[in-house]
Amino acid sequence: MKELIERITEAIVDYPEDVDVRIVEGEGVTILELSVAKSDMGRVIGKNGKNAKSMRTLLSAVGKRKGKNVVLEILESPPSEHE
């Protein structure tokens, strides 16, 4: 699941080297924290949130196959040289 989100995100952002996905295991839920450069936030979220919704739908489908509840959180990474 982590690799899926990394590859999708790296394909749509301007700064793929700033993409970072961390997994946080919670009680009955797996949280994927996606960090991207501030300038790439709009690309990741998409118009009316369509990109983010699509990624969450994919994660939900994969998670259900594995019997897990998966949540995607999109975070802004610390400032980099791109900003």
DSSP for 7-22 reads HHHHHH-S-GGG-EEE
pLDDT digits (tens, 9 = 90+) for 43-72: 999 999 999 999 999 999 999 998 889 999
Q: Please count the structural domains in the chain.
A: 1
Q: What is the pLDDT of residue 82?
A: 58
Q: What is the domain-level CATH number for residue 44?
A: 3.30.300.20
For residue 80, which of 41, 48, 45, 24 has the smallest C-alpha distance?
41
Q: What is the pLDDT of residue 81?
A: 64
Residue 82 lies in a domain: no
Chain-centroid distance of CA 36 in Å reads 8
Residue 81 lies in a domain: no
Residue 18 lies in a domain: yes
Distance between CA atoms of 68 and 19, rounded to whole angstroms? Answer: 24
Q: What is the pLDDT of residue 43?
A: 95
pLDDT digits (tens, 9 = 90+) for 7-46: 999 999 999 999 999 999 988 899 999 999 999 999 999 9
Q: Which domain holds residue 72?
A: 2-76
Residue 83 lies in a domain: no
Residue type, 54: S
